[in-house]
Structure 1
Amino acid sequence: MPEPTPMQRLLNTLPQTGRVEWIGVRPARDQAMLILDRAMVSPGKGLAGDRFSGRETSKRQVTLIQHEHLSVIASCLHRESIGPEVFRRNLVVSGLNLLALKDKTFRIGDVVLEYTGLCHPCSKMEKALGPGTYNAMRGHGGITTRVLQGGELALGSLVQACL
C-alpha cells in the first residue's frame, strides 16, 4: 500500500467528536416533521417512521445538517433563528464539520453511516421561508448517508469518524 500523501494525511485527521442535537422523521410527503428523542435505524433503510425508510438503494437513508449552519442560514435571511424541522433533515449535529466526513464512514452511537453526498436545498425551502432561501442554504444543506450498521441513536449521541 503506497504511503499517504500529505493531503491524504490532512483529510484523514479528524479527531473532533460531534453530538446529535436534534432528531426528526417525516412520516409522509408534505407532512410535518415529528421530533424525537431517539430513533431506531436499520441497515439499508434508515430511521424507523421516516418516509425514506425501506428504500434500500437510496443514497439518502439518513440526512444530516450541521447545527452551526442553522444560524448562518437564518442570518442570511435576516432572521433571529429558524427551527431545525423547517430544513427537513433527520439529524442536526454539532461540533464536527460534516463535510470532513466525505468519502468516510462514521459512527453515531451504535449506528454506522456512510457519506453518500451533499444534501442540496430544494425549491420547497423558498415556499417555507421565502425568496432567497435556496441561495441562503447553498453550501449549508448538509449531507446524505446510507446505513451500514443499524441500532439506536439518541439526543446527545456522539458522532465520530471511523478511521
Structure 2
Amino acid sequence: MKLPPADSPLGQLMARLPRSGRVEWIGLRPARDVPMDAVEEARAVAGAGLVGDRYAGGSGKRGLTLIQAEHLPAIASLAGHDAVSPATLRRNLVVSGIPLVALKGRRFRIGDAVLEGTEPCDPCSRMEDALGAGGYNAMRGMGGLCARIVEGGALRLGDAVEALPADAAATVGEGS
C-alpha cells in the first residue's frame, strides 16, 4: 500500500497515532498443526522470521504476525465463545493500545527490532476448526498484520510498539 504524501492532509492524519502500543503475548509455531509455545522473549532475524517459529526463513513479507488485543473479545463474541486464547489464533504477537491497520506500509519498532507492516494477516481455513463453524468469518477484518523484519533483535513481553517517522525508511538499516 502506498501511503499518501506526508505533507498532505490525509498523510498527516494517517501519521498521527494516539499513543504507543505494548506487547501483551508472544507465541511461536514450532511446526505445522502443533500448539503454539507462549514465550516471554523471541529473537527476530532480518529478512527471515522469529527463531523457533516454523515460518522463519520463509516469505520476508510475513516474518511475523501481529493481532490487536482489543480484537480478541470481538472475535470470541462473534464466534460464540466467552474468550479466545491468543494461541488459538496462531499469531506471533498480541499487542494492545495501537491500531495495527495504521502500521500497514509503515516501519515500527518493537524492542530491539524494526519491522514494516506489509499486508493484512487474513484468517485461514483452520479457524473453522479452532473456533467452530463460522470461525473464519468471525475473524475476518480482525486477523491482524503481517510484518517483515527490517532489523533483527529481541522482542519481549511489555515492549513498546512505536511507529517510526515516515522518513525512517531512509535512516533505518537493513542489517541484523
Alignment match, 2:149 = 147
1:3-152 pair list within 5 angstroms: 4-55=7-58, 57-152=59-154
Q: Which runs of no fewer than 5 residues in structure 2 stay unpaired?
A: 166-176
Report the secondary structure of 2:62's partner residue: coil
Residues in 2 aligned to 1:3 and 1:33: alpha-carbon distance in whole angstroms: 39
Residues in 2 aligned to 1:25 and 1:102: alpha-carbon distance in whole angstroms: 22
> Which TM-score applies when normalising by structure 1?
0.95
Residues in 2 aligned to 1:37 and 1:142: alpha-carbon distance in whole angstroms: 20
Deviations 1:77-112 (A, max 9, x none): 221101000000000000000001121000001100
Overall identity of the aligned pairs, in % = 53
Q: Which runs of no fewer than 5 residues in structure 1 stay unpaired?
A: none
Which one-letter code corresponds to 1:146 in the other structure? R
Which one-letter code corresponds to 2:91 in the other structure? R
* Alignment check: 8 A CA contact 2:61 2:118 kept: yes
Q: Aligned-pair distance for 1:117?
A: 0.2
Q: Aligned-pair distance for 1:15?
A: 4.4
Q: Aligned-pair distance for 1:138?
A: 0.7
Which one-letter code corresponds to 1:108 in the other structure? I
Residues in 2 aligned to 1:123 and 1:54: alpha-carbon distance in whole angstroms: 23
| Runs of 4+ with >2 A deviation | none
Which one-letter code corresponds to 1:129 in the other structure? L
> Which TM-score applies when normalising by structure 2?
0.88
* Alignment check: 8 A CA contact 2:6 2:12 kept: no
Q: CA RMSD in A?
A: 1.2
